[in-house]
Amino acid sequence: MGKLRVGIAGLGTVGGGLLKLFADPRSRLNEKLELVAVSARDRSRDRGVDIGGYRWFDDPVELAAQRDIDVVVELIGGSDGPAKRAVETALQRGAHVVSANKALVAVHGLALAETSEASGGKLLFEAAVGGGVPMVKALKESVAGCRASAVAGILNGTCNYILTEMEASGRSFESVLADAQRLGYAEADPTMDVGGFDAAHKLTILSAIAFGTLPDFEHVRIEGVERVSLTDIRMAGKLGFRIKLVAKGALNDGAVEMHVRPALLAFDHPLASIGGSLNALVVDAEPAGQLTFIGRGAGAGPTASSVASDLIDLAEERAGHAFGRPLAQLSSAPRATPAERGRYYLRLMVADRPGVVAAISDRLAHEGISIESFLQMPAPEGPVVPIVLTTQTCARTAVEAAVSAMQALDVVVEAPYVMPVEVSGAHWGAA
């Protein structure tokens, strides 16, 4: 078989990194693949690599339609628009597609996989999750012989950087976010990252592969880190916890529950020490036990290397099914309800008056909730003080009722903030 002819749609950070790999004579890519065409919005931009020898397309869909291009690498981004049309066009004519687009795969992966199976074109997306960490391949191959019951991870480097820097520097969420934007770690509109949506896209993909279920992004319950304050970071530390944005999927009796949300992790939790922009995934699988994957979750080098890995798999005819098995073997799993019991962290901002603590304790006692730890710190200015507490294991509905009752108190000046306390072990506590 001759070399596979490759076209790249999208020459941003990852596309530029892939160009450099093709330009490197030592790269394995050049043994069985040939880059022949590229597409981007700006032809004149300096990308550090001469692209004059490649065919240029202003329209990525036109590139994807070329019959002499065997593999289309989609690095445009976005769940719809030209990215979706280019991938559909390539797959419909039987070409292979390699994508780093987690939103596209999470939202439209099922339909694209159906087209892939019908036409014979392979759909690969290792780079869509975890940057240079081979999370997708690990679940497809290394964990294929196991029964996965839970996947949990830190899947968004921007949020992890912000939370890590808040803890290390003592600066507010807003201050650290502004720095992250200046440094290029966060977009001008950071909603996809700090709102939890990016992590939810990745969790959708990982859960489908791990549990053998159809991808279902609408199933994910999503909460971002916007309400995490420096007070929360400090109080959690005093209580022996670290706050992380945790993306977690669990399989219970054939039903799947998926969520993305901030949580308190004990310092010895397998994800608590993952700092900066690193990503990590922990898989509970029998009989292998608990497996952990850690590495750089973004950037030109790591993500381009994952794209290159998929390209080499195609060239060496090792590419399998998009979600690890034929679509006919994927189940449509029912949605599991959130765990009924767990431990919780509550932060309240209250007026500094006598009787406040008694009023809060009374609302908790009324719902049968026992307090495990309690902290109150004086506010540096103004008459409002933060009160933080963690509960012993209790009913989720009881916490919801207690919070509603607290919010009605005239001494509570803003909505109480609740986070779960995760514990190590199977399924890791509150879900």
pLDDT value at residue 431: 40
Let me know if 3 is a catalytic residue. no
Angle at 302 between CA 297 and CA 307, to 5 degrees: 110
- Of 102, 140, 202, 244, the catalytic one is 202
Count the Cβ atoms, other than its own, within 10 Å of residue 28.
15
DSSP letters for 369-399: PPEEEEEE---SSSSEEEEEEEEPSEEHHHH
Q: Which two tokens stand for residue 338?
A: 């959130």
**pLDDT profile of the chain (431 residues), mean per 10:** 92 92 92 96 88 95 98 95 97 97 96 97 95 88 86 94 95 91 81 95 96 94 95 94 96 92 94 91 89 83 91 94 93 84 94 88 94 81 85 94 93 93 58 40
> Per-residue pLDDT tens for 374-383?
998 765 666 8
Question: Which secondary structure element, helix H or strand E, spans residue 31, and what is its range?
Answer: helix 29-32
pLDDT value at residue 1: 63
Under CATH, which number does the domain 341-424 receive?
3.30.70.260
CATH class of the region 135-294: alpha beta
> Per-residue pLDDT tens for 75-93?
999 999 999 999 999 999 9
Query: Phi/psi of residue 11, each to 5°?
Result: -120, 45
pLDDT value at residue 424: 61
pLDDT value at residue 243: 97
CA dihedral 170, 174, 177, 178 (to 10 degrees): -110
Q: In DSSP terms, which residues pair with 101 in a beta bridge?
A: none
What sign for the dihedral angle of Cα 427, 419, 298, 65?
Answer: positive
Q: Contact 11/75 with Cβ under 8 angstroms?
A: yes
- Measured CA to CA, the distance from residue 381 to residue 397 in angstroms comes to 35
Residue whose pair of structure tokens reads 């979600």 in the numeric block: 323
Judge residue 270's burial from the number of C-beta atoms within 10 Å of its C-beta, 0-12 exposed, 13-18 middle, 19 or more buried: middle
pLDDT value at residue 103: 96
End-to-end CA distance of the chain: 50
59 conformational bin, left if phi > 0, alpha if psi -120 to 50, beta if neither = beta
pLDDT value at residue 379: 59
- Measured CA to CA, the distance from residue 66 to residue 59 in angstroms comes to 12
| Cα 156 to Cα 8, 159, 313, distances in angstroms | 25, 6, 26
pLDDT value at residue 333: 84
Q: Which two tokens stand for residue 257?
A: 């529950």
- Measured CA to CA, the distance from residue 99 to residue 430 in angstroms comes to 34
Strand 289-296 relative to strand 255-266: parallel, antiparallel, unpaired?
A: unpaired
Strand 371-376 relative to strand 289-296: parallel, antiparallel, unpaired?
A: unpaired
Q: Contact 128/240 with Cβ under 8 angstroms?
A: no
pLDDT value at residue 430: 41
Q: Domain residues of the chain, as ranges?
A: 4-128, 135-294, 341-424
Q: Does domain 4-128 have CATH number 3.30.70.1450?
A: no
Q: In DSSP terms, which residues pair with 257 in a beta bridge?
A: 250
